[in-house]
Amino acid sequence: MRLLFVADGRSPIAINWMRYFVENRAEVYLASTFASQPDLDLKGLDITPVAFSGTKRSTVSTSSQPASPRTLRLRTAIRHYLGPLTITRSARKLRSVIDRVKPDLIHAMRIPYEGMLAADSYNGIPLLVSTWGNDFTLHAQSNPLMRHYTRWTMQVANALHSDCQRDLRLARNWGFSTAGPTLVIPGNGGIRSDIFYPPKKLVDEPVIINPRGFRAYVRNDIFFKAIPLVLKKIPKAKFLCASMAGEPQAQQWINTFGIAESVELLKPVPHAQMADIFRRASVLVSPSLHDGTPNSLLEGMACGCFPVAGDLDSIREWIDDGENGLLTDASKPHKLAESIIEALINKDLRKQAAGLNAKRIAERAEYYTCMGQASSFYQKIIQST
């Protein structure tokens, strides 16, 4: 197969997916919307910026200062309102890449802006579009131009990959054909069980990890407000915060709530090293208001962490409240704190969840099984289009 991916070449999610096809000797080409040099044996790499992605750095530095929540919201708003205006011009460059590569299949890995760019460049070659997390619930709803391009992308796409069943239902409402082939597997292709596995003994220390970093749709403000409420009940609790080292807003919350001795702000680390951090924790917290299936949630579950997450349709596809995790209102500190406390004090529930989650990950999210399904899906699209 000759495959052209339209993706963010810096993204561990995209790299994890593409690596399978590189290792299985497909001809893999990448049109990256961000300047990047992924560690993959690609047949070709082109940089095709869109929505001001050409102004972003090519790698995620482990020493760089993360953006504040206000900055993230501002950047998101600018890209929502002005980003669609760049699509037509950017599509000309992608068309030249498509004409040169002549792929059997184009796979755009998320709707904004990779899917939009690929849809505007469509020339009859089969187009597969992935939805990631909040493509419909957040980005598509932001303004008329984003609604237009989301609908256009779904109308043009020949096939759809989503990380949750919810997005398949939403995709139909946004114009995706009821006859179009679909696949539901994790956005990063699945969990590598040789990297993300539980510790030999279930962690019994009150260690909580928030792996989500700073994103516009993750309520880290609520998370930090919940910490002193947890400490009143469990004074020895320790909180690990991924990719928040050097973040002024996080430090401000720590100072405001007087919780410095209980919180560790972690630097960004290579993706595989997150497994060791997960294995230090007994509870994982994902306080999001918009999500599909967060890859970090599945990775933490695979490492034996008990999940406490926002009560969203997509998360319910993986977590049965009170059985293999707890679902809560991520907009209310006392509700989040109550769930964290329940998870910490109920060792039997954590033990039960660890077994259920190990089975669930093995059955529905094992990397090579999922990517085998993806490869078959590609063949089906190519043969039927």
Classified as helix, coil or strand, 309 is strand
Quote the mean pLDDT of the chain. Answer: 94
Q: What is the DSSP string of 194-212?
A: TTS---SS---S-EEEE--
- What is the per-residue pLDDT for 363? 97
Q: In the predicted model, is pLDDT for residue 232 greater than 90?
A: yes
Segment 44-63 mean pLDDT: 71
Q: Do domains 2-190+367-384 and 207-364 have the same CATH topology?
A: yes
- What is the per-residue pLDDT for 83? 83
Cα separation, 349 vs 201, whole angstroms:
15
The full 3-state SS of 159-171, as one line of letters, equals EEEECCHHHHHHH
Among 363, 223, 367, 364, residue whose Cα is nearest residue 283: 223
b/e per residue 46-62 (b: at least 16 CB within 10 A): bbbbbbebeebeeeeee
Segment 188-212 mean pLDDT: 96
- What is the per-residue pLDDT for 58? 46
Q: Which CATH number fits domain 207-364: 3.40.50.300, 1.10.10.60, 1.25.40.10, 3.40.50.2000?
A: 3.40.50.2000
Among 56, 6, 10, residue whose Cα is nearest residue 36: 10
Question: In this structure, what token pair is assigned to residue 181?
Answer: 């082939």
Question: In this structure, what token pair is assigned to residue 225?
Answer: 């407000």
Q: In the predicted model, is pLDDT for residue 118 greater than 50?
A: yes
- Parse the chain into domains and list their residue ranges: 2-190+367-384, 207-364
CATH of domain 2-190+367-384: 3.40.50.2000
Q: In the predicted model, is pLDDT for residue 65 greater than 50?
A: no
Q: What is the DSSP string of 23-92?
A: HTT-EEEEEESS----SS--SEEEE---TTGGGS-SS--TTSPPPPHHHHHHHHHHHHHHGGGGHHHHHH
- What is the per-residue pLDDT for 52? 80
**Residue type at position 353:** A
Q: pLDDT of 147-157, one tens digit each?
A: 999 999 999 99
Q: pLDDT of 268-319, one tens digit each?
A: 999 999 999 999 999 999 999 999 999 999 999 999 999 999 999 999 999 9
Segment 374-382 mean pLDDT: 98
Classified as helix, coil or strand, 325 is strand
- What is the per-residue pLDDT for 385? 77
The residue with greater pLDDT, 70 or 47, is: 47
- What is the per-residue pLDDT for 59? 45
- What is the per-residue pLDDT for 76? 72
Q: In the predicted model, is pLDDT for residue 133 greater than 90?
A: no
Segment 346-373 mean pLDDT: 98
For 324, half-sphere exposure in the C-beta direction (CA atoms, 13 angstrom radius) is 20
- What is the per-residue pLDDT for 82? 86
Check if the beta carbon of residue 150 is closer than 8 Å to that of residue 126.
Answer: no
- Residue 326: phi and psi, rounded to 5, are -130, 135
- What is the per-residue pLDDT for 57? 52
Q: Which residues pair with 209 in a beta bridge?
A: 240, 284
Provide the percentage of residues in the chain whose pLDDT is more than 90: 89
- What is the per-residue pLDDT for 55? 67
- What is the per-residue pLDDT for 79? 77
Q: pLDDT of 74-112, one tens digit each?
A: 667 777 778 899 999 999 999 999 999 999 999 999 999
pLDDT band at 216 (very low <50, low <70, confident <90, very high): confident
- 170 in the Ramachandran plot: left (φ > 0), alpha (ψ -120 to 50) or beta? alpha
Question: In this structure, what token pair is assigned to residue 216?
Answer: 């516009």
- CA-based max dimension of the chain: 63
Torsion over CA: 311, 312, 314, 316 (sign):
positive
Rounded to the nearest 10 degrees, the angle between the axes of helix 347-364 and helix 295-302 is: 120
